[in-house]
Structure 1
Amino acid sequence: MRIVVFGLTVSSSWGNGHATLWRGLCRALARRGHHVVFFERDVPYYADSRDLHELPGGRLVLYPAWHDVSRKAEREIAAADAAIVTSYCPDGIAATDLVLQASRALRVFYDLDTPVTLSRLKAGQRPSYLGPDGLSGFDLVLSYTGGSALDGLARTLGARQVAPLYGHVDPDMHRPVAPNPAFDAALSYLGTYAEDRQPALERLLVEAARRRPAERFLIGGAQYPCDHPWAENIRFVSHVPPADHPAFFSSCRLTLNVTRRPMAAMGWCPSGRLFEAAACGAPMLSDLWSGLDAFFTPGEEILVAESSEDALAALDLPDADLKRIANRARERVFAEHTSERRAAEFERLVGGARPPIRAPALAHAGA
């Protein structure tokens, strides 16, 4: 297939969870014989921290403004088998208008932020990437979140065919490596700052650090405010690029997952960081949300914490127990949650959304 994507970013991992997921999926799709063209608006805050310049298995199109690229986008869509618009695409409405005019390509919307989308709509705030007709014009709507979120997209935005396409990990990029002393910690956390994650982060990591002053703790991520609460034994790394994620996870005794409040409330929302950490052999501690046990078995493949006491109890477990839990999680991820598995699911969902796609009639459009 030729696939065209209009997304937030694939070129920069700074402050977003989209880029790493798209990189893994594009690599997997390329290995399966597909070609992806990714349109990304070239904004300064991603340009300043760009850590990918060529799309693996495809082509990256950076553009300064929509009017500079709209004709090229139209040509790519005309030659595509599937055209995808994603949540938080800065030109989502304009891209949607073009995609919905496609006579050949399957028209797809991929919401990588479904709980945020639905919570904003409930509050009377229409996200900037959604037009007045919602998702009713798309042939297929994919959601990073499953469960009740799928019904919400159909009921609230008119999506006709909805299916989950969860997070994943590329084992070629995320695997156990030699520990890095810079990331050494009893408990680590990797994630961009989010206000609605903060209470759980303070409860499960910051308070645990205060109660265990002799142990080292680590937080990595962008956009943390100056008044974020710290303790003397908490180290902060302002940005950890994907290339350093394996060392980050391989260097900690235990790593924490904290879910954004709208996602936790809706459930069925596994962070890509969970799969990355498991693939790197890190024992995982997570907050609790509905559907977690569909991805990892609590107590056997992942530890669950709701209080500071739960976090401290996890830290008190013997190394052998943590190692056993980590090994089981790694086996589960390799069996069910790789980028290759998601690429196969994408093929199945696209193939089931309409009759089999015919071979492209045009050569490399826009070349």
Structure 2
Amino acid sequence: MHIAFFGSSLVSAYWNGAATYYRGIIRALSERGHTTTFYEPDAFDRQAHRDLDDPDWAESVVYEPTEADAARMLERAAGADLVVKASGVGVLDEYLEREVLRLQAPGTLVAFWDVDAPATLDRVQTDAADPFSPLVPQYDLVLTYGGGPPVVDAYRALGARDCVPIYNALDPTTHHPAPPDPRFEGGLGLLANRLPDREARILDFFYGAAERLPDESFLLGGSGWAEHAPDLANVRTLGHVAVPDHNAFNCTPRAVLNVSRESMARYGFSPATRVFEAAGAGACLITDAWEGVDLFLEPGREVLVAEGGADVAEHLAALTPERARDIGDAALRRMLAEHTYAHRAAVLENVLEGVGV
């Protein structure tokens, strides 16, 4: 099977939280004998911040963010077994969502792959004139990287022929246990770009915990915080942390924190990439509470769950290095047994076989 994939970026994780997900799925599909051409626009300075050389498991094609150049890419993609338009390309989304449907043909299916279904659904449900809504029934398939029953039901209500979650997962070749790094020493670490849908929750879960534990050290990695974060003496902001440093970041503090965006927490069943990265590194993970967490990790044994900053502080204050290691080891075993991208690729193959690919 050959896949033509229109997404944000495969080769750069800069302001591109879906990069790890794309890489994991596409690499796993390659290992199962499929080929992928990934079409990404030269936008948002991502190509200047590449953190992945052109891989041997996919072809990366960079195009100018103009309709004329995107049209050339669509012509090139014609005849693929599966054409994917991912959400959140960031430029020309409306154009691509409409134009990829012209590639439907005998032997070519077109799917919409939503990497931020809560945001997409909130948008179309509040704007009757949203141009994506009438396109949903025309796609052969809608795939999502999370959301569970609430997202599936919402897409079917919009007329989707089918909607199947392909959840985030672990790529053990890129995220795995690593030696501690003195740059990331501390009690609690968090990797999260500053986004409007997550900022208030980080101020609660992360900064709220830091205020309650002034003698504990906290690390915040991610873009956008330097001029906006509260000034606390026990918090260090690190700026963008490149993917190759994620393993060391996850393995050095006593625990790492996951804070979901508000919409993803509300829909539930939407574990962020960070959950799998951290657990795959054997880190002790503290996550905000959301429905469905127990489908991926067992609370209290493989992950610690918090309702807010007070809970995070309580977990961290009681967390011995020994218990942190036990939780991290249990999480890693669960990831390898059930939640790798190889598992997700097998699910995707079964789905595609059911719709004729």
User: Shorter-chain-normalised TM-score: which range?
Assistant: over 0.9
CA drift of 1:72 comes to 4.1
CA distance in 1, matches of 2:128, 2:9: 23
SS at match of 1:185: coil
2:120 paired with 1:117: yes
* 1:55/1:199 CA distance change after superposition, 3 Å: same
Counterpart of 1:321 (choices 320, 323, 326) is 323
Q: C-alpha offsets along residues 169-227 of structure 1, whole Å, 9 cap, x if unaligned?
A: 21011111111111111011011112232232222221222232222110001122613
CA distance in 2, matches of 1:305, 1:109: 33
Q: TM-score, normalised by structure 1?
A: 0.91
CA drift of 1:343 comes to 1.3
For residues 197-346 of structure 1, the aligned pairs below 5 Å read 197-224=198-225, 226-315=227-316, 316-346=318-348
SS at match of 1:268: coil
2:111 is matched by which residue type in structure 1?
A: V
2:277 is matched by which residue type in structure 1?
A: E
The equivalent of 1:5 in structure 2 is 5
Check whether the contact 2:152–2:163 (CA below 8 A) recurs between aligned residues. yes
SS at match of 2:350: helix
Q: Percent identity?
A: 36
For residues 1-367 of structure 1, the aligned pairs below 5 Å read 1-64=1-64, 65-78=66-79, 80-89=80-89, 90-101=91-102, 102-103=104-105, 104-124=107-127, 131=132, 133-145=134-146, 146-156=148-158, 158-224=159-225, 226-315=227-316, 316-354=318-356, 357=357
Check whether the contact 2:137–2:161 (CA below 8 A) recurs between aligned residues. yes
- CA RMSD of superposed structures (Å): 1.7
1:271 is matched by which residue type in structure 2?
A: A
Q: C-alpha offsets along residues 86-144 of structure 1, whole Å, 9 cap, x if unaligned?
A: 101223333334432321212111000000111122332866xx535231111111011
Q: C-alpha offsets along residues 251-281 of structure 1, whole Å, 9 cap, x if unaligned?
A: 1100001011111111110111100100101
SS at match of 1:39: strand
Check whether the contact 2:85–2:113 (CA below 8 A) recurs between aligned residues. yes
Check whether the contact 1:6–1:92 (CA below 8 A) recurs between aligned residues. no
SS at match of 2:138: coil
SS at match of 1:170: coil
Q: C-alpha offsets along residues 17-47 of structure 1, whole Å, 9 cap, x if unaligned?
A: 1111111112111111111001111114212
Check whether the contact 2:124–2:133 (CA below 8 A) recurs between aligned residues. no
Q: Unaligned 5+ residue runs, structure 1?
A: 358-367
SS at match of 1:136: helix
CA distance in 2, matches of 1:252, 1:269: 25
CA distance in 2, matches of 1:44, 1:308: 33
Q: C-alpha offsets along residues 299-351 of structure 1, whole Å, 9 cap, x if unaligned?
A: 11110111333112211222222221111111111111111111111111111
Q: TM-score, normalised by structure 2?
A: 0.93
Aligned length: 351
CA distance in 1, matches of 2:116, 2:192: 15
1:323 is matched by which residue type in structure 2?
A: R
The equivalent of 1:360 in structure 2 is none
Check whether the contact 1:16–1:192 (CA below 8 A) recurs between aligned residues. no
* 1:259/1:290 CA distance change after superposition, 3 Å: same
* 1:131/1:207 CA distance change after superposition, 3 Å: closer
